[in-house]
Structure 1
C-alpha cells in the first residue's frame, strides 16, 4: 500500500514528481503543491494526459475554468509540473541523441553524420559532446500500468 488515510506519503510525492531527480527540488515542489491543496494523485493525473485537460479548460471560455483544479494558483503549479516533465524528457532525448551520434562517429565521418541528420558538421560535434547527465525516468508517466 502506498497511501495513508490521513494524506499522501513521501512515496506518493516521489512517484508524482519523479521527473524532478534532485531530492531537494522534489521536496520543495511537493511542499508548494501541498500548500496549495494539490495532492500527489492530482499531479499524476495532470502529467498522465500531458496537461491536455488543463489546456482545454484554459481555452474553454468558462470564467471559472480554473476552479475544478483548485484555482489559478493550483493551475499555475500544475502547469509548471507539466513543463518540468517536458524539460526532463527533452534532456533525456538529448542524452540519447548524444549517445547515438557519438556511436555514429565511431563508424562514419562527421560530414556523413551531419548530412544524415540535416545539421552542420560542427553541430554533430556539439551533439556528441553534450552532457549526458541523469538520472532520467525509465518510463513516461502515461506508459506505466
Structure 2
C-alpha cells in the first residue's frame, strides 16, 4: 500500500523498485532482444530506475544536458556510452508508440470506410485515396505497451 501522510495534493509517489521488464516494457515483444538490451545497459552501469527516468521525461534531461555546451555534459548520466544507450531507448519507445498509434489509426480508418467513401475519408485525413486503403489494411499488431512510462495504470 502506498501512502502520502500529510499530503493534500492527492499525488502519491511510488517508491517501489522498477524492474527491467517495467522499464523496458516497449522491448518485451522479443525475449532475445530484451535480454541483449538489458545486458548492454547493465554492462554500462545503468539501472532500471535510470532508464525509466530517461523514458519518463521523454529524453528531456538528456537533451538539456547535450544542449548545455559543457564538456562534461554526459557525466551525470554515466558518460557518453550510457547517454547513447539511454537515447536509443528513448528512440525505441518513441518508435513503439508510433507503431501503436498507427495501429489505432488503421482501425479508425477501417471503421470510417464502413460509412464513407475512400475519397471522403482521404479528404478528411489529407491523404490520397489509395493511401486510405493502405492505412486501413494494417490493423493492430500487438504486442503494445498498455501505458506510457509517465502514466501509472
5+ residue gaps, structure 1, are 4-10
The unaligned stretches of length 5 or more in structure 2 are 1-14
In 2, Cα distance between equivalents of 1:131 and 1:72: 39
Q: Which structure 2 residues correspond to residues 108-127 of structure 1 after superposition, within 5 A?
A: 108-127=116-135
1:15 to 18, 22, 28: 22
**TM-score, length basis structure 2:** 0.86
CA shift at 1:132, angstroms? 2.4
Matches within 5 A, 1:60-75: 60-75=68-83
Question: Cα offset for 1:26?
Answer: 1.2
Aligned length: 138
- Segments of 4+ moved more than 4 angstroms: none
- Correspondence for 1:135: 143
Paired residues of 2:104 and 2:139 also in contact (CA < 8 A): no
Q: Distance in 2 between matches of 1:39 and 1:74?
A: 11
Could you tell me how far apart the structure 1 residues matched to 2:91 and 2:103 are? 18
Give CA-to-partner distance per residue, 1:13-60, whole Å, 9 cap, x none.
000000112222111101100000000000000000000000000010
Matched, 1:45 2:58: no
Query: Normalising to structure 1: TM-score of the pair?
Result: 0.91
* Bigger relative contact order (CA 8 A; separation at least 6): 1
